[in-house]
Structure formats: structure tokens, C-alpha cells
A and B are shown apart, each in its own frame.
Chain A
Amino acid sequence: MHPFTYAKAADMREALNAGWRGGRYVAGGTTLVDLMRETVERPDVLVDISSLPLREVVVTGRGGLRIGALVRMAEAAAHPKVRVLYPVISEALELSASAQLRNMATIGGNIMQRTRCTYFRDVTAACNKREPGSGCAALHGYNRSHAILGTSDHCVATHPSDVAVAFAALEATVHVLGPDGERRIAFADFLLRPGSTPNREQALRKGELITAVEIPAHARPLKSGYLKVRDRQSYEFALTSAAVALHVSGGVIREAKVAAGGVGTVPWKLPAVERHLIGERPSDRLWAEAAEHAADGARPLTHNGFKPELLKRTVERQLRTVGGTK
């Protein structure tokens, strides 16, 4: 591990000042410390933000939610308001990592977590994300777990977060604070596709701190849930996953929010699936037809040719679980 100085920020100002000077924020440390040990990350200065007042879960407007950046995954998942208003968020969180990690890791850190691509984690391998211009060992290497959507010739790594898939589906907003003040970034614009600059992963500017993730109030009644498919039953990243939220009234689907995980370089919103559902009546046939669009545009690699079909079935099953059948 590269040596670093450590300081705990007593308030937002201290944190922002240190961040602006190039200090690296550390929240739960479960991504950062791990990658520092692998020397993938080599910050000179760690800024401990764990004392900052970003720990609240607040209900906003008519059933929206604002989750503070430092709310731990375990706390967010167990929060009564989260469980009632957006089960898809609790479920995505409780299907993530382990109880121990969820006791440490935060919501802000979670959406900032870096890919689990083994070539990214191996400093001797070519990786454009870690070392721009060095190439992508995954493109023609072992790429079973890699992305089929949003990839480029420069990078095919997935974004590994589960709750980010729920945030993408629900069209969340990321609240950030920086030297120039406060900004709100639509979740769809927050995580960046690799393109030719896979080393740029988020829309954050220098020194900016995430303060919260806000979920807008969606029409109610709203049913929602998260399905995760993986190589083992627990404590494993997704091969595919689906976050689904449906507002059905008068027997007709009025709103459909659907996104997929484990398949994209960023959490993958599925507007074609959503469009297919709106204005229709729930039925097994509808779920199957809508899910046919889940892998539109997919570009499988050598070892993940199973993912498009698995993705469609994952989405279909989760549509049925959330939307029921006649």
C-alpha cells in the first residue's frame, strides 16, 4: 500500500477544502482500502468524511426519499420508510455484499464503487480504466462476467453496484457539494459510459462531495422489487439483475420503471421495455413481450454469450413478481 496521510474532516468545509486540494474522501472504505492494498488506488491524502452530517433518510414531497451519502447500506436497507416506499432499494441493498460489509459501506461510496473486473484489479494487466492507453485485457481475455451493453473498444467492465440499478430505474438525482456550490445530477448522467475515456467514471468535478441521493415521488400505488441472478446464492456480484417499479391503476400500467444490472458498463435503464408496458394490462404474455427488448443493442463477448438470454428471463421474471398475473 502506498503511504498516505490521514485526517478526519470535522465539518463540510474542512472536507471540501481537503478534497479541493486533492485529498481522497473515504467513507466506509470497503472499496477504497481494498483497492489501495492492491495498489490500484494510490491516494497521498485520505480525508475521513465519516463525521459529516450526511446520515439522514428524509421523506420528501409526496413519497420521495432523500438518502444521505453517509447512511450505511445496512441502515438504508432497514429503514422503515425505505422499506415501505421503495422495497426495490431495500432488496437491492440486502442482496449486496455481506452483512459485515453493509455495516461499513455507505450509499455515497456504493454508487462510487469501482468495477470488479479482475484485470482492473491486477496492476500487471492492461487496463485503460486504471492506466489510460495501456489497452483492455478483458476484451480478448476471460470476460464471462463483463458487460454486453454500453461497452466500447476501450473498456467492457461492468458497474458492479446493485442499489445503483434501483436508483437508475427510479430516476434518482445525486446531490453534490463542491467548491462552486451545490449541484444536482440526474442519475443517468452521473455514471459515465467508458467511450474512449474509461478512466472517467463519474460526472463529479474536482473536490465534489456527494451529499445525498434523492428518489423522486412516483405515482402510487407503486409496487417494486429487485431480482439478482448470480453464480452462488449469496455474497456475490450479479451476472444479471433487474429493478422494477410499476404503477398500476384501473387495471392498466400507468408507469413502468425498469433497469438492469450486471450487464452494462453503467446501470442499464430499459426504456424500450418501459414503453412496451405503459398503457397495457398486466399479463404473462405482456411480461414476455416487454422483456424481449431487454437486451436490445447487446454486444456479447467471447465468454458471456449467455447474458442476453439470461437478462431477458431475469427481466421477465421480475416483471411477473412485481406485476403479478391474472
Chain B
Amino acid sequence: MSTELPAEAETSSVEPPPAPTRRTFIATTTAAGGVAVVGGLVAGPPALAVEEAVADEVPPGSRVSLTVNGVRHTVTIDNRTSLLDLLREHLDLTGSKKGCNAGACGACTVLVDGRRVNSCLTLAVRLEGAEVTTIEGLAKGGQLHPLQQAFIEQDAFQCGFCTSGQIVSGVGCIQEGHTGSRAEIREWMSGNLCRCGCYVKIERAVEQAAAGRKG
């Protein structure tokens, strides 16, 4: 997947259309605006130009550079774009799923700078310089990640919709070291719902991969 992309991918959003970057803070200095700084605090009328906000039809967008599964992308996006939509709609990485789009199911889980997060509640515009790992980035050199292999061996899915989120979350859970017992795995994997009810096998798969890592 990602290996087919050029190392420096320049992608532009299709929908909504590209918009000019409006980093209003850039090139604005507070001192020039006559702001008195007292003991590090601001007094008097602030000078930052934020009134540039939302006037014309083109929705405000920004350019952001981030690394996804080892490949650097520079994209121009509507500020409203979530990381999940950036991955799925703009970068063709549809492994991360959209379940609830509200932080309540975990199907969209990815790693950002090594930490598992809900990509549906992450604004892509905030990810300048970030390193993102999705389910597509876990296999290395044609070898499945041990947790992917464990999911197969434990038969830890039915429809598969939650699976990519479960696996990425499980990778985070193992890295965090919250795999001391079945109960601990259950609690620390509770941010990933499975409508098919494969929890017992998911638990075993995480346990197996965690044990493999220790051994």
C-alpha cells in the first residue's frame, strides 16, 4: 500500500477544494501592536490578527506535512478534515474504519507519535511533523506484525470492521505494558468495541502477542 507511494508525496485535497493557508499567527508580533507585557502577562488590547476568520466562501484550509507509515505527505486540506478522513479519503488508506466518528468505538484507532489515539477526533491540521502509523504500516518486509498473526491464529474477528482498530490499539496496549493479566487487557482494550462480540479471542490474541514480545 504505502510502499507504492513516492517517498515525497504531494497530495492535494479534492473535496473541499484547496484553500489558502491562513496561519494568522505567522508574522504577527505582539510587541508591535502596543501590548504591554507585565510580568509575562498581557495587558491592553491584543494585537493578533484573528479577525481574518471565516469571511469568504472558500472554507479555511492549511498545508500540513506529516509522515504516514514512513512516507512523508504534504497536503492542503480544509481545516475541518479529521485524520481519519485524511487517511481514508485523501491518502487511500482505508484500513482505519469510521464507526461512530465520535470517539466512542475505537474503529479509527491509529498511532500518532507512538501513542494510540482516535483519528476521528484528531484534526489533521494539527499534525504538522507528526508520525502516524495505521494498520497498513504494521507489517514489515512482507511479515505480518505479531499481533496481526495472533489475530489470525486466535480467529479474533468475524465481520472484521473493528479489527484494524483493535490491532492498532492492541499494539499500543502492549507497548504501554498493560497486558499483565486478562483483566488488565480487557480494561485497557475497552476503547475498542466489537459488535460481533469477539472479545474473548481478541483478549487471547493480545495476550499471545504480548507474551511473544517478552519471550
Contacts and interface: CB of A to CB of B under 8 A. Distances in A.
Interface string B154-188: 00000000000000010011001010000000111
A176 to B, nearest CB: 11
A18 B48 CA distance: 6
Given A98-B190, A100-B117, A16 B79 contact: no
Interface stretch (A2-10, A193-201, A255-263, A301-309): A2-10
A18 B176 contact: no
A46 B79 CA distance: 10
Nearest to B128: A8
B46 A16 contact: yes
Looking at A9, A33, A74, the one whose CB has the most chain B CB atoms below 10 A away is A33
A97 interface: yes
Interface in B1-39: 22-25, 30, 35, 37-39
A44 interface: yes
Contacts of B46: 16-18, 20-21, 179
Contact of B79 (A6, A13, A21, A50): A6
A2 B79 CA distance: 10
Given A29-B121, A46-B79, A100-B109, A5 B42 contact: no
A37 B80 CA distance: 9
A99 B191 contact: yes
A12 B25 contact: no
Contacts of B192: 98
B22 A5 contact: yes
Given A17-B46, A99-B176, A104 B118 contact: yes
Contacts of B186: 234
B43 A30 contact: no
B146 interface: no
Q: Interface residues of A: mostly helix, strand, loop or mixed?
A: mixed
B47 interface: yes
Contacts of B172: 99-100, 103
B80 A101 contact: no
Contact of B115 (A3, A9, A103): A103
Contact of B60 (A4, A13, A23, A103): A4
B101 A37 contact: yes
A249 B205 CA distance: 48
Contacts of B122: 29, 33, 104
Contact of B123 (A2, A21, A33, A103): A33
B47 to A, nearest CB: 6
Given A5-B53, A7-B24, A21-B50, A34 B103 contact: yes
Contacts of B60: 3-6
Interface in A258-290: none
A7 to B, nearest CB: 4
Contacts of A101: 103, 118, 121, 191
A104 B54 contact: no
Contact of B190 (A2, A20, A234): A234
Contacts of B69: none
Interface string B59-102: 11010000000000000001110100000000000000000011
Contacts of B48: 14, 17-18, 21
B42 A17 contact: yes
Contacts of B80: 1, 3-4, 36
Interface in A216-256: 233-235
Contacts of B59: 3
Interface of B: 22-25, 30, 35, 37-43, 46-48, 50-54, 59-60, 62, 78-80, 82, 101-103, 106, 109, 115-118, 121-123, 125-126, 128, 169, 172-173, 176, 178, 186-193
15 contacts: A3-B80, A5-B22, A5-B52, A5-B53, A5-B60, A8-B23, A13-B37, A14-B48, A18-B50, A97-B191, A99-B172, A101-B118, A104-B121, A179-B43, A181-B41
The 7 closest A-B pairs by CB, nearest first: A98-B191, A17-B46, A234-B190, A3-B59, A17-B48, A44-B53, A235-B190
